[in-house]
């Protein structure tokens, strides 16, 4: 294992010091609880948005804290859900009197920890907490016999759009409704060319042959739907687009994200994006907005994921609204 770390046990805390050093104009860091909090939180009268998850997916979630997006992000250990205490402290820190929404990716650990946090918050404090679980990964087909569809790339788009809605002054009920709408209209699928190495484990999470790739990976190096032989990018783009279009009717405008898993150069991401747009055009799907880059990663894994979100005028307007976070910034 070759990594730029001091000690596998202190990776997350050490990285948070760097985030603070780099972005203290927009965020503050609670080092005791491993939280990244919007610098001016709590914002009076605004619904607070808290997300969080294992570390190793940067810029998500900490990189999306700031005006127009999240109010706080809880950083867990690498690939491990944060704990209820972190979520409780974050919730209290961003409660501006209008309630707090927890944005949870559908992974067993994340869901259980956020559930416990919400139960504890309901017992102890007088802040109203609602949750939305993101589950956009079409790789998981048989949800009766699995933990259900995972929450992956759509989380980024949802945090942006719901963040804009909260900034506009929508109340908690309206924010919950908006989050559910986004979750219902978006789908993702990813592929990996290599595994990744969790610092504390010291070796790659899975083994992939030189001529193989894994289709349908999650974001923790957990293996995916099936293992296939490498193919030209045009074919691999087809393997990403087809299951997404088969899962949901995507006529009209979409917001598309071609996301890198952490170890794939932008050159290849743009190449893949070009292939994807060709296929989408043929299918009558129009990309109204896009993101190409590393937004929800899996340490140094090579590979990419595609997210499509059906976008009407409301969602496009919220998408275009100003956002000022370390990971996404426009309109300001």
Partner 1 sequence: MTALTADKAAAWMADFAASIAENAELLTDLDRQIGDADHGSNMNRGMKAVCALGSEFPDAPALLKKVGMTLVNSVGGASGPLYGTFFLRLAKELPSSGDATPEVWGKALRAGLQGILDRGKAKVGDKTMVDALTPAVDAYDEAVTGGAEFGQALQAAAAACAEGRDSTVDLVAHKGRASYLGERSKGVQDPGATSVTLLLESAARTLA
Binding site residues, partner 1, CB under 8 A: 54, 76-85, 107-109, 112-113, 115-116, 139-140, 142, 145-147, 150, 198, 200-201, 203, 205-206, 218, 220-224
Tokens of 310: 């059906």
Residue 39 or 200: the one with the smaller Cβ distance to partner 1 is 200
Query: Chain-centre distance of CA 55, in angstroms?
Result: 11
57 catalytic, yes or no? Answer: yes
For 56, residues 6+ apart whose C-beta sits below 8 A from its C-beta are 78, 79, 196, 198, 220, 297, 298, 299
Residue 139 or 302: the one with the smaller Cβ distance to partner 1 is 139
13 — phi, psi (to 5°)?
-60, -40
Residue 152 or 178: the one with the smaller Cβ distance to partner 1 is 152
Residue 25 or 32: the one with the smaller Cβ distance to partner 1 is 32
Q: What is the DSSP letter of 212?
A: E
**Among residues 23, 57, 61, 102, which one is catalytic?**
57
| Helix, strand, coil share of the chain (percent; to 5) | 35, 25, 40
Tokens of 72: 């706080």
Provide, rounded to whole angstroms, the least separation between the CB of residue 75 and partner 1: 11
Between CA 177 and CA 189 the distance in angstroms is 24
Residue 116 or 248: the one with the smaller Cβ distance to partner 1 is 116
Query: Chain-centre distance of CA 270, in angstroms?
Result: 20
Provide, rounded to whole angstroms, the least separation between the CB of residue 107 and partner 1: 7
In 3D, which of 157, 158, 156, 151 has the Cα closest to residue 136? 151
Provide, rounded to whole angstroms, the least separation between the CB of residue 125 and partner 1: 16
Provide, rounded to whole angstroms, the least separation between the CB of residue 136 and partner 1: 14
Residue 277 CB neighbours (<10 A): 18
102 catalytic, yes or no? Answer: no
* 60 three-class SS: coil
Provide, rounded to whole angstroms, the least separation between the CB of residue 251 and partner 1: 30
What are the catalytic residues?
57, 220
């Amino acid at each position: 294992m070759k990594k730029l770390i001091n000690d596998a046990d202190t990776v997350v805390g050490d990285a948070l010091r760097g985030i603070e050093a780099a972005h203290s104009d927009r965020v503050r860091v609670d080092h005791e609880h491993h939280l990244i909090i919007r610098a001016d939180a709590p914002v009076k009268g605004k619904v607070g948005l808290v997300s969080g998850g294992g570390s190793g997916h940067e810029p998500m979630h900490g990189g999306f804290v700031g005006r127009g997006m999240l109010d706080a992000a809880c950083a867990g250990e690498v690939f491990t859900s944060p704990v209820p205490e972190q979520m409780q402290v974050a919730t209290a820190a961003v409660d501006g009197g209008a309630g707090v929404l927890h944005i949870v990716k559908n992974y067993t650990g994340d869901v259980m920890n956020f559930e416990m946090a919400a139960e504890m918050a309901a017992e102890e404090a007088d802040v109203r907490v609602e949750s939305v679980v993101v589950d956009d990964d079409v790789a998981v087909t048989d949800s009766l016999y699995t933990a259900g569809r995972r929450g992956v790339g759509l989380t980024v788009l949802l945090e942006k759009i719901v963040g804009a809605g909260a900034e506009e002054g929508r109340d908690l009920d309206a924010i919950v409704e908006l989050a559910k709408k986004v979750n219902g209209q978006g789908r993702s699928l990813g592929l990996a060319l290599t595994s990744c190495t969790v610092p504390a484990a010291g070796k790659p999470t899975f083994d992939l042959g030189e001529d193989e790739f894994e289709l349908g990976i999650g974001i923790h190096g957990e293996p995916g739907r099936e293992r296939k032989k490498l193919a030209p990018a045009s074919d691999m783009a087809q393997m990403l687009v087809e299951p997404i279009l088969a899962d949901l009717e995507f006529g009209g405008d979409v917001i598309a994200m071609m996301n890198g898993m952490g170890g794939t150069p932008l050159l290849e991401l743009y190449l893949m994006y070009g292939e994807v747009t060709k296929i989408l055009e043929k299918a009558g799907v129009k990309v109204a907005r896009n993101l190409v880059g590393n937004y929800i990663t899996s340490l140094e894994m090579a590979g990419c994921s595609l997210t499509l979100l059906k976008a009407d005028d409301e969602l496009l307007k919220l998408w275009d609204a100003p956002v000022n976070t370390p990971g996404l910034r426009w309109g300001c």
